[in-house]
Chain A
Amino acid sequence: MMMYKLWQSVKKEMLLLSRDWGGLVILFVMPLVLVITVTLIQDSSFKAVSTRIEIAFVDNDKGEISKTIVDNLSKSESFVLVSVNEQELQHLVFKGKYQMGIVIPENLSSDLQNRVNHNVEKAISAFGLGDDSNTEENHFSTKEIKLYFDPATHVSFKSGVQNAIDKIVTQIENQSIYKAFQEQLSEENSFFEQESLIVFEEILPTTNSEEPKPNSVQHNIAAWTLFAMFFIVVPLSVNMVKEKNQGTYVRLLTSPVSHLVFLGGKIITYLIICLLQFYVMLFIGKFIFPYFGLIALEWTNLGLLTVVALFSGLAAIGFGVLLGTYAETQEQSAPFGATSVIILAALGGVWVPVFAMPEIMQGFAKISPMNWGLNAFYDVLLRQGGLSDVLTDIILLFLFFAATLTISIIYDKKKRAV
């Protein structure tokens, strides 16, 4: 009989949801729009940008260095250099016409070469090999490559370009040193091996000898699926508040049905919704994303992903039940629910990775259920982890569900015993 009552509760919840178009939009359409929009925007962070950024450029040097900078920046396919004069450059960059401007100072190449030659001659003569008549102390003034940035430019973009230019200049300096030594030693060009000794090789987790490349699709599907699942807090808590205000909850309290059956109907229904959301997101990632020029989502362990989705859904439902129990009006539950999910998402690393957060926020992230869910999804999707890798996170998610549900039941009982 209890199973029949539970089934009736699930059926009722399904009917209520199927007739709540606003709720269905929140549950299914909004997350899809969100995941497609955010993935398209963030995709550029994971691959070369398709649109080239224009950089205002003033070349007062006309030498080797400015030529190399121009060549390297042009080769990156991310930038287009636009020649302007220095007065124009400052104005145009500060007004936001260009995100940045580069001014190469006069005689940069020749001064660098002179300094390198001077230092090499000094070194050679110190070994007693050369003529020490040219090794008197010379003072070389510092040369400034001026970088102008639009005040609205993102900090990470600034430091990225600065590092790139710094690397180019360092390379030129190194090559000049080698060249000067060769000239002093009257050796042929092949005397020094100028290829980099140290190179970087990115090693990624592999499955079946295939090497998956992390991409924005994997990151975003995991993050926004979780976000969508937690957004059920809003319709679930509103549903519970409505039942209290309509009087249907009072009717149920006077019927021979346990509180657990009443909650069980909601838990099962919303868990089905969470899993549906999850599969819809996977479907979108695999079959719809390619139509937008995005990489199709790949996964290797759907079973484990489902387990993670199931426990994440339970945590979200527990939070929704807690909010629905405490809130007295829809005006309390809906905005609080939405805002708290956004805060949990921020804490959980949905927008900014946890490692990039300040230390104190990293501490808060550790107690955010969305962070546990996200970690578990990343373990399966990106790190090719197994059940043992996600076990801690799914236990934490379940404990969160159990704790929120217990608090809700105790609070409800206490409230009715006034």
Chain B
Amino acid sequence: MSQSVIQINNLYKQYKNTETFVVKGVSLAIAQKEIFGLLGPNGAGKTTLLSMMCGLLKPTSGKISILDKSYSDQKTEIHQNIGVVPQEYALYPTLTARENIAYFAGMYGLKGKDLDQKTNQTLERLGLLEFADKKIGTFSGGMKRRINLIAGVLHNPKILFLDEPTVGVDVQSKNVIIEYLQELNRSGTTIIYTSHHLSEAEHFCTKIAIIDRGEIFACDTPKNLIQNTENVSNLEDVFISLTGKQLRDDV
């Protein structure tokens, strides 16, 4: 693998008026063209860590460097080069698919023929071209997920952050999404991804970090993680062996 595009050193996060740290001393180096899976049970600190990587939250201490830049002084430059696909359908339901895409891509400076061409190509690739001028509010969950993805990638980000991009979608939509993400990765995009679908992550990711109670317990390729854990045959077994079987309900 080549040089790191994300470098995290000794990162801590404690929310105001709380006593516990939700992220505790995390250090990570994510290489270019990696498909990096961030896996962990509910409340493990995945979303907080991802939010800090996207510049949505400020760390309590520690350092995050994205493409050798820091959020403290080069936020706009970093944001120009990353794409974020939130877990929610972050779309306007009364706007059409094309209007949503045009607006979000416009925020990255895409316009004119270039925008139209890219929009049509991506919509066609994800099987949505014929629905381009329909309102998002009328779309199924799988269709919304795909538009949600397009809105985050049309500007060709160098790093793409995805928070559970396949949650609640049918198998067909999931396959299209995963295949498309692999295409993006082949063309040079580094992907950071969280999911609860462990078998999907096992086959999709080139590297996986298992996080629990704010700490990284293991970080390696899926193959190495399985090989280096005793009495396991797949990633789910590794996950259970590292994080335990107890429920993680929390309010």
The reply to whether chain A is a binding partner of chain B is yes
- Seen from chain A, the residues whose Cβ lies within 8 Å of a Cβ on chain B are 1, 4-5, 8-9, 11-12, 15-16, 19-20, 246-248, 250-258, 416-418
CA distance A136 to B77 in the complex (A): 108
Q: Are A247 and B88 in contact (CB under 8 A)?
A: yes
CB pair A5–B109 under 8 Å, yes or no, is yes
Q: B90 is contacted by which of A20, A251, A417 (Cβ under 8 Å)?
A: A251
A selection of 16 A-B contacts at a CB cut-off of 8 Å is: A4-B111, A8-B102, A12-B95, A15-B95, A20-B94, A247-B87, A248-B92, A250-B56, A251-B84, A251-B86, A251-B151, A251-B152, A253-B56, A254-B82, A256-B107, A418-B57
Most chain B beta-carbon contacts within 10 A, residue among A252, A254, A258: A254
Give A245's nearest chain B residue, CB to CB.
B88
Cβ contacts under 8 Å, B152 to chain A: 251
11 further interface pairs, Cβ-Cβ under 8 Å (given A254-B55, A417-B57): A4-B111, A5-B106, A16-B92, A16-B95, A20-B94, A246-B93, A254-B82, A254-B161, A256-B77, A256-B109, A416-B57
Once bound together, how far apart are the Cα atoms of A418 and B58, in whole Å? 7
Select which of B15, B99, B104 is within 8 A of A15 by beta carbon. B99
List chain B residues, Cβ under 8 A from A8.
102-103, 106-107
Bound-state CA distance A5–B87 (Å) is 25
Contact of B84 among A12, A16, A19, A254 (CB under 8 A): A254
Q: B89 and A246: CB pair below 8 A?
A: yes
Residues of B bordering A, CB below 8 Å? 15-16, 54-58, 76-77, 79-80, 82, 84, 86-95, 99, 102-104, 106-109, 111, 135, 151-152, 161
For B77, give the chain A residue with the smallest CB separation: A256
A4 to B151 CA separation, bound complex (whole angstroms): 18
In the bound complex, do residue A246 and residue B56 qualify as a contact, i.e. CB atoms below 8 Å apart?
no
Residues on A with C-beta less than 8 A from B91 are 246, 248
Contact of A257 among B88, B107, B135 (CB under 8 A): B107
Contact yes or no, B95 A252, CB < 8 A? no
- Find out whether the CB atom of A1 lies under 8 angstroms from the CB atom of B109: yes
Which residues of B are found within 8 Å of A15, using beta-carbon distances?
94-95, 99
The complex places the Cα of A418 from the Cα of B80 at a distance, in Å, of 24
A1 to B107, CA, bound (A): 9
- Separation of A347 and B106 alpha carbons in the complex (Å): 43
Identity of the chain A residue whose Cβ is nearest the Cβ of B54 in the assembled complex? A254
> Which residues of B lie under 8 Å from residue A248 when comparing CB positions?
90-92
List the B residue with the shortest CB-CB distance to A242: B92
Of A8, A11, A16, chain B has the most CB atoms within 10 Å of the CB of: A8
- Distance from B52 Cβ to chain A, minimum over Cβ atoms (Å): 12
A246 CA to B108 CA, complexed, in Å: 20
Contacts of A258 in B (CB 8 A): 76
Residues of A within 8 A of B55 (CB): 253-254
Give A417's nearest chain B residue, CB to CB. Answer: B58
Task: Give the Cβ gap from A344 to chain B, nearest Cβ, in Å.
Answer: 29
Given contacts A254-B54, A254-B55, contact A12 B103 (CB under 8 A): yes
Question: Closest residue to B99 on the A side, CB-wise?
Answer: A15
A256 near B90 with CB under 8 A, answer no
Cα separation A20 to B79 with both chains bound (whole Å) = 31
Bound form: Cα–Cα A184–B99 in Å = 97
B94 touches A255 (CB 8 A): no
Q: Kindly list chain A residues whose C-beta atoms are within 8 Å of the C-beta of B90.
A: 246-248, 250-251
A257 contacts which chain B residues (CB < 8 A)?
107
Is the CB–CB distance between B15 and A418 below 8 Å?
A: yes
* Bound complex: CA A11 to CA B54 (Å): 27
* Interchain CA distance A15-B84 in the complex, whole Å: 24
Bound: A257/B54 CA distance, A:
14
Q: Can you name the residue of chain A whose Cβ is closest to the Cβ of B106? A: A8
A256 touches B79 (CB 8 A): yes
- Asked if B82 and A247 sit within 8 Å, CB to CB, the answer is no
Give the Cβ gap from A306 to chain B, nearest Cβ, in Å.
30
Which residue from A1, A9, A19, A418 sits with its C-beta under 8 Å from B94?
A19
Query: Which B residue's beta carbon lies closest to that of A252?
Result: B107
Cα(A295)–Cα(B109), bound, Å: 52
In-complex Cβ contact of B56 among A9, A16, A416 (8 A): A416
Residues of chain A with a CB closer than 8 A to B109's CB: 1, 4-5, 256
Min CB–CB distance A258 → chain B (angstroms): 8
Q: Smallest CB–CB gap between B205 and chain A, Å?
A: 22
Find A16's partner among B16, B58, B94 (CB 8 Å cutoff): B94
In the bound complex, residues from chain B placing their C-beta under 8 Å from that of A418 are 15-16, 57
Whether B108 contacts A256 by the Cβ 8 Å rule is: yes
Q: Are B108 and A255 in touch, CB under 8 angstroms? A: yes
B76 touches A256 (CB 8 A): yes
A220 to B161, CA, bound (A): 55
Tell me which residues across on chain B come within 8 A of A5, comparing CB atoms.
106-107, 109
Determine the distance from Cα of A4 to Cα of B103 in the docked complex, in whole angstroms: 11
With A5-B107, A8-B103, A257-B107 already in contact, the answer to whether A246 and B151 are too (CB < 8 A) is no
A19 to B79 alpha-carbon distance, docked (Å): 30
- Is the beta-carbon distance between B86 and A250 smaller than 8 angstroms? yes
Q: Which 4 A-B pairs have the closest CB atoms?
A: A247-B90, A247-B88, A8-B106, A254-B84
Find B80's partner among A9, A256, A417 (CB 8 Å cutoff): A256
* A255 adjacent to B54 (CB under 8 Å): no
When C-beta atoms are compared, the residue in chain B nearest to A11 turns out to be B103
Asked if B104 contacts A251 (CB within 8 A), the reply is: yes
Question: How far does the alpha carbon of A412 sit from the alpha carbon of B169 in the complex, in Å?
Answer: 33
A363 to chain B, nearest CB (A): 38
Give every chain A residue within 8 A of B99 (Cβ-Cβ). Answer: 12, 15
A253 CA / B161 CA spacing, docked (Å): 14
Contact present for A255 and B107 (CB under 8 Å): yes
With the chains together, A256 CA to B57 CA distance in Å? 16
Q: Which residue of B lies closest to A254 (CB)?
A: B84
Measured between alpha carbons, how far is A100 from B249 in the docked complex, in Å? 72
